[in-house]
Structure 1
Amino acid sequence: MVALPDIDVAIVGGGVGGIYTGWRMLTSRLSGSGLAGWEAARGKLKVSLFEGSDRIGGRLLSARSPHMPDTTAEVGGMRYVAPAQTLVTGLVECVLKLPYHTQVVDLPGNIAFLRGRVLRTSDLGNAAALPYWLDPAEAAWMAATGGSPASLIGRALTRLMPDLMIHLNAGTLRQYLDTVEIDGLPLWQHGLWNILAKHLSADGYAAARATVGYDCLGGNTNALDLTSEYFDFTPGVSYRMVNGGYETVPWELQRRYQAAGGEIQFNHWLAGFSGTTLEDGSEGIALRFQDATTKTARAIVLAMPRRSIELLDPVGEVLGPANVQFRQDLASVSPIPLFKCFLLYPNCWWQDSGVSSGRSLTDMPIRQCYYWPAGNEGATIPKRDAPGLVMVYDDLLNVSFWEGLDKRAEVHKAGLPLHLRSHGHHWPMFEPSKPEMMAESPDDPFAKRLTDNWNQHPATRQMVNELHRELMQMHGKDSAPYPIDAAYMDWSRDPFGGGVHLWNVNVQSDVMLTRMTQPVENFPCYICGEAYSTNQTWAEGALQTAEIVLQQRLGLPKGEWQDG
């Protein structure tokens, strides 16, 4: 009898895309697919997922402070857009049937602290109140429409593309953008900033970028994809959050994947892989791990972002130096640094400034400040004298500002977790002001996972000092109680390379989207994840590329819920 490979499908990477792919393989009808013969040879398809860390979830990282165990913070991805993001909406609401709530973001009374001036969100439509020198036409447009400076980006785009709003409202925006030419070139051959400059004054651009909240949304990556991305963050969009944490999604998928017979090997870092001839004469994959162990498989799925793939050894048919095309394709997206920090205060002192929920904005390095609701239903505003969480969220250059305030040398080394602690900066740094705020060790495994996530991502004292200073300044306070707990993540660190990804200029993402899912024709290596999707920055992108691998490359049927 011919010996079988160790496994049929090796999935490398335990983010939402990887665990979703494994779950779909083991719970779908395989007859007629490329996996049917493998299942017949073994009697049951054997799928193993290899994850370098000790958890499934990747950039979905939910966490709970032991001092506020009834409230879940989102240190990674936190929300999805419904109903537009059909895959993740269907998965959360129809398959896993997880309770969810709508996130509150922009409220009229929230703060906009810009160039040292304290404004309210309701002031942003008044050009005379803004500390910017706007073009008279921009100021007049804002007065006529009640738009904020962030909407000046939309104004510029609609002047360049007059039919844009028609297609946005009809749900055909992307198809329309594919047809647009500016100065004789397709939209994907332009940088967004380059075309915005045609219809935005210098200060109009500065004000728009400051008030949209994310520097990358006004950046100079691929204008087609970034235009589409910008309209995911416009007023009227409905953001939904999973009660109890977004990490519930991969946690539930992990449970179902393992119940279907799937294997997970934690703390297994892939070093490299190459093609090999299996004993039945077919082409397969030889995997080599950093601990020198090896495995053979019929196929490999790299559920990994750009930087994680770049860290693999440059050997084999895909990663070897002879495959120049793949190296160029791999570099077709740019990783975007993202920083999130949650500060737990003994009371909600910011409420004295008239803010209690949603988001406030500033041009200081903290950029976005979310007043986190208590509990996990999304609607409970903490009482003024009760403990409360504030989330600080920023991207691009601001991330390097906070990186300079993490004094632990270990976290700057590739692949090492944040909970490795240097002398003098170790946890705990904060003492709870009230002993009753301490929680007992939770018996529920998921609750323990969330507490571990918090404890493994401690902020340094230097970082918290500066965060606290900027938050006080933003809220017009000379003093405020010091935080009693803090956790953060800089997603630009290895092995992630960035919190999200954006397509570069001159890349036709609709073509690259499919090409990257199988980078070498007829070779059993597949790639999925948010990075090379056309729903970048969202979990939807990871599921989108996973479905291309599953349906187009391997011949699996759609999930039943996808037809609804």
Structure 2
Amino acid sequence: SSAVLLLACALVISVHADGVCRNRRQCNREVCGSTYDVAVVGAGPGGANSAYMLRDSGLDIAVFEYSDRVGGRLFTYQLPNTPDVNLEIGGMRFIEGAMHRLWRVISELGLTPKVFKEGFGKEGRQRFYLRGQSLTKKQVKSGDVPYDLSPEEKENQGNLVEYYLEKLTGLQLNGEPLKREVALKLTVPDGRFLYDLSFDEAMDLVASPEGKEFTRDTHVFTGEVTLGASAVSLFDDHLGEDYYGSEIYTLKEGLSSVPQGLLQAFLDAADSNEFYPNSHLKALRRKTNGQYVLYFEPTTSKDGQTTINYLEPLQVVCAQRVILAMPVYALTQLDWNQLRNDRATQAYAAVRPIPASKVFMTFDQPWWLENERKSWVTKSDALFSQMYDWQKSEASGDYILIASYADGLKAQYLRELKNQGEDIPGSDPGYNQVTEPLKDTILDHLTEAYGVERDSIREPVTAASQFWTDYPFGCGWITWRAGFHFDDVISTMRRPSLKDEVYVVGADYSWGLISSWIEGALETSENVINDYFL
């Protein structure tokens, strides 16, 4: 586009040995290729919403994006044999009653909500496969399970998390949601705050060893209940206000349409609003006059993979204020010294990135619905972790399956398999490829869960994967670590240096459950824009 050509022509400036100024004197002499009132770095929902909220401000604003894709961890996708069906290889759903910012944006953009058919797994349509046994959702709530629960745990099997919370803290919810301000004040019998305890520490106080493992396995997202994850996150996830919605929805246009619509509205609002894809922020500096110098490396995107063009000159941009709409994984690798101060490093240590993955496959027959274990959703302790029946394509008649939706160590293991062997016939090319070892491992575990002989099902017609493990994302979402009070560090996360007008937005810097939803990105961007720009 003309914008990209303008960038190439105007911003290529000869700079220092490694391209970045190293002291105030050098930085003061830096020549700006272009200058803006506000530079927004990142075109996911947080960055797009920041730009959208400032679209009529009269300021000169530019949005820069690492890749050629607008959307961040919202990624609507199509396979060639099912072009009539949107696949969501990133975020795929939202809760009706709990996510009011997203609902407002959907309305403003004129998008079309539709019910997400399977929700989080519905009675009569979902099964669990745990410790080698196939169980209905009803059995998991009240039947025999392959865990040696104590008599008390067995009596409270259907609401075990709420039972543990009451036993830990004395709090009785009586059908009401667990409120944020209440959760952060709860203490356990030895006087410690609940947020100071990890999942394992909290469970060891009130649960039997088998009860703890049952809770961990039925939570399914293992990254949220291992490696020092805060106990508050578990209780907020299962009992918090964000889960008290009446229905689960997605969008007819695909969830990528949210950040894409926000960014397009920003560009349409004023000629001075600009967008530059394929720009990687390498470093951030400040001149004596308060102006910020941003050093961008050009990138190239092909087949879902973005690479930095190290041999090309840096692009030097200046701005009066900066919004970093970057995942915490990328942010903490940015060359900006204010991210290394004790205040900032302690704040960003409060969250741990959780790798995540999705593998879609299409079949000419819905073999998962053709025997006595048929289910539209299966959740498991096996490697595939979660499976969702997606939809039948009217264009081809093929059936679409999320064959694996995994997180944590499972996602990392599957990521290694993606790098091995040949692509399967029907695999999408490049970064979204599915290899023979990846396909075989998932289908071996999945057919075992369904009690189906592996050689009795046909090979996938097509397949695509997305691994939220690599730069710049590093994760599908974050979890909070034990020992951190959210309100103590969130203001630092969003403004790491009090003397700088550099702000941080994105779901990774939001509280509790919404940190794994679009709502978290909208919340942080809304708060930062309202607090510091409007």
TM-score by length of 1: 0.79
Equivalent residue, structure 2, for 1:133: 148
Equivalent residue, structure 2, for 1:215: 222
Equivalent residue, structure 2, for 1:352: 370
Cα displacement string for residues 369-396 of structure 1 (whole angstroms, at most 9, x for unaligned residues): 1111236xxxx9x99x743323421111
Whole-angstrom CA distance in 1 between matches of 2:260 and 2:206: 46
Answer yes or no: is 1:334 the counterpart of 2:318: no
Shift of 1:122: 2.5
TM-score by length of 2: 0.83
Whole-angstrom CA distance in 2 between matches of 1:234 and 1:91: 20
Equivalent residue, structure 2, for 1:257: 266
Whole-angstrom CA distance in 1 between matches of 2:530 and 2:326: 19
* 1:107-118 matched pairs, under 5 angstroms: 107-118=123-134
Answer yes or no: is 1:372 the counterpart of 2:387: no
Equivalent residue, structure 1, for 2:179: 173
Give the letter aligned to residue 18 of structure 1: G
Give the letter aligned to residue 153 of structure 2: E
Whole-angstrom CA distance in 1 between matches of 2:251 and 2:125: 26
Answer yes or no: is 1:552 the counterpart of 2:531: yes
Give the letter aligned to residue 140 of structure 1: E
* 1:384-533 matched pairs, under 5 angstroms: 386-407=398-419, 425-426=422-423, 429-431=424-426, 456-478=431-453, 479-533=456-510
The equivalent position to 1:19 in structure 2, one of 36, 42, 48, is 48
For residues 393 and 525 of structure 1, do their structure 2 counterparts lie closer, same or farther at Cα, with a shift above 3 Å needed?
Answer: same
Give SS of 2:494's match.
coil
Shift of 1:225: 3.8
Equivalent residue, structure 2, for 1:160: 168
Q: Structure 1: where are the runs of 5+ without partners?
A: 31-43, 409-423, 433-451, 557-564
RMSD of aligned residue pairs (Cα, Å): 2.6
Give the letter aligned to residue 465 of structure 1: D
Whole-angstrom CA distance in 2 between matches of 1:160 and 1:490: 37
Whole-angstrom CA distance in 2 between matches of 1:521 and 1:223: 31
Give the letter aligned to residue 306 of structure 1: V
Does the CA contact (< 8 Å) of 2:469 and 2:476 recur in 1? Answer: yes
Equivalent residue, structure 2, for 1:559: none
Equivalent residue, structure 2, for 1:6: 35
Whole-angstrom CA distance in 2 between matches of 1:125 and 1:224: 22
For residues 4 and 460 of structure 1, do their structure 2 counterparts lie closer, same or farther at Cα, with a shift above 3 Å needed?
Answer: closer
Cα displacement string for residues 516-538 of structure 1 (whole angstroms, at most 9, x for unaligned residues): 21111131100011111112111
Whole-angstrom CA distance in 1 between matches of 2:245 and 2:110: 26
Does the CA contact (< 8 Å) of 2:355 and 2:475 recur in 1? Answer: yes
Shift of 1:96: 3.5
Shift of 1:95: 4.7
Equivalent residue, structure 1, for 2:6: none
Whole-angstrom CA distance in 1 between matches of 2:486 and 2:108: 29
Does the CA contact (< 8 Å) of 2:126 and 2:378 recur in 1? Answer: yes
* Greater mean alpha carbon deviation, residues 156-165 or residues 263-272: 156-165
Shift of 1:356: 6.5
For residues 287 and 113 of structure 1, do their structure 2 counterparts lie closer, same or farther at Cα, with a shift above 3 Å needed?
Answer: same
For residues 371 and 356 of structure 1, do their structure 2 counterparts lie closer, same or farther at Cα, with a shift above 3 Å needed?
Answer: farther
Give the letter aligned to residue 295 of structure 2: R
Answer yes or no: is 1:88 the counterpart of 2:102: yes
Whole-angstrom CA distance in 2 between matches of 1:17 and 1:98: 21
Give the letter aligned to residue 178 of structure 1: L
The equivalent position to 1:230 in structure 2, one of 231, 238, 242, is 238
Equivalent residue, structure 1, for 2:83: 69
Give the letter aligned to residue 141 of structure 1: N
Answer yes or no: is 1:120 the counterpart of 2:120: no
Give the letter aligned to residue 257 of structure 2: T
Equivalent residue, structure 2, for 1:195: 202
Does the CA contact (< 8 Å) of 1:101 and 1:243 recur in 2? Answer: no
Cα displacement string for residues 395-443 of structure 1 (whole angstroms, at most 9, x for unaligned residues): 11211220221226xxxxxxxxxxxxxxx635xx3249xxxxxxxxxxx
Give SS of 2:516's match.
coil
Whole-angstrom CA distance in 1 between matches of 2:224 and 2:343: 29
Does the CA contact (< 8 Å) of 1:164 and 1:173 recur in 2? Answer: no
Does the CA contact (< 8 Å) of 2:373 and 2:451 recur in 1? Answer: no
Give SS of 2:73's match.
coil
Cα displacement string for residues 449-483 of structure 1 (whole angstroms, at most 9, x for unaligned residues): xxx9x875121121011111112111111121111
Does the CA contact (< 8 Å) of 1:468 and 1:482 recur in 2? Answer: no
For residues 226 and 510 of structure 1, do their structure 2 counterparts lie closer, same or farther at Cα, with a shift above 3 Å needed?
Answer: farther
Answer yes or no: is 1:52 the counterpart of 2:66: yes
Shift of 1:234: 6.5
For residues 202 and 234 of structure 1, do their structure 2 counterparts lie closer, same or farther at Cα, with a shift above 3 Å needed?
Answer: farther
Whole-angstrom CA distance in 2 between matches of 1:122 and 1:229: 20
Give the letter aligned to residue 510 of structure 1: D
Shift of 1:357: 6.2
For residues 140 and 482 of structure 1, do their structure 2 counterparts lie closer, same or farther at Cα, with a shift above 3 Å needed?
Answer: same
Q: Structure 2: where are the runs of 5+ without partners?
A: 1-31, 298-312
Give SS of 2:417's match.
coil
Give the letter aligned to residue 199 of structure 2: L
For residues 65 and 354 of structure 1, do their structure 2 counterparts lie closer, same or farther at Cα, with a shift above 3 Å needed?
Answer: farther
Whole-angstrom CA distance in 1 between matches of 2:89 and 2:33: 42
Shift of 1:109: 4.6
Equivalent residue, structure 2, for 1:270: 281
Whole-angstrom CA distance in 1 between matches of 2:172 and 2:34: 52
